[in-house]
Amino acid sequence: MGIHERKEREKERRRQQIMVAAKRVFSVNGFSKSTMEDIAREAELSPGTIYLYFKNKDELYASLSLRILQYLNVRIKHVLEDRNLQPEQYIDALKQAMFDVYDFDSLIVINLFQLQSSETLKNLSPELLEEIIELSRTSLRTMASIFEMGIQRGIFIDKHPFALADILWALFSGIILWEESKKIINEDKDYLKVTLDLAFELLERGITR
């Protein structure tokens, strides 16, 4: 392993260290109530150091969302490319992918939406913004491909695949958000998995020819 490579790895480790701390702090306090000093303290670093790895607060925040999108993207691709799946298993596989994304980082799924305000986007570097946009597009496109394939094989009803992809994603994230809200306003038990299961079941019934 060359010296350069080791340094790169070290640098990446630091980025991860900061992101882990940031995730923890943002999760507890939300974006605007979290200070860079809080994050620095959590990461056991000085505020200045964070700025060696992230351009500003918004970009640090966005990079957390980026990670989730990357993970989502990979998981969805696997579904599309899985040759072992029977046609009727696609919805289930997608459900599982989304469950995994949620398990990977439940709070950041919620933050993905806060991210997408022009307010925040203005402070992002063009490269990061482009990456986020590109990943979102790719994920949707892949989901649409799955539906298209299903339609061609006569499994799914003949509706616009992109719209189906949108609905799937909206349903998933909407439920997560809503359950999160209910924790605050309703003190209900945690029905999340139940609700998600039911939602996907209904969707499958609705979508299947």
The interface region with its own copies, picked from 29-37, 44-52, 73-81, 94-102 by CB under 8 A, is: 29-37
Give the single-character DSSP code of 46.
-
Q: Length of the chain in residues, anyone?
A: 209
The residue within the footprint of DNA, chosen from 6, 20, 28, 33 (CB under 7 A), is 33
Dihedral over Cα of 139, 142, 146, 147: its sign: positive
Residue 142 to residue 80: CA distance in whole angstroms: 7
Residue 24 to residue 53: CA distance in whole angstroms: 18
Instruction: Compose the 47-86 pattern: x for residues touching DNA by CB under 7 A, - for all others.
Output: xxx-xx---xxx----------------------------
**Residue 42: closest CA among 55, 32, 29, 52:** 29
Q: Which helix (H) or strand (E) holds 67?
A: helix 57-81
Pick one of its own copies, DNA, none as the site partner of residue 12 (Cβ within 5 to 8 A by kind): none
Residues that bind DNA (CB under 7 A): 7, 10-11, 14, 33-37, 45-49, 51-52, 56-58, 123
Residues that bind its own copies (CB under 8 A): 29-33, 113-114, 116-121, 132-133, 136-137, 140, 159-160, 162-164, 166-167, 169-175, 177-182, 184-186, 191, 194-195, 198-199, 201-207
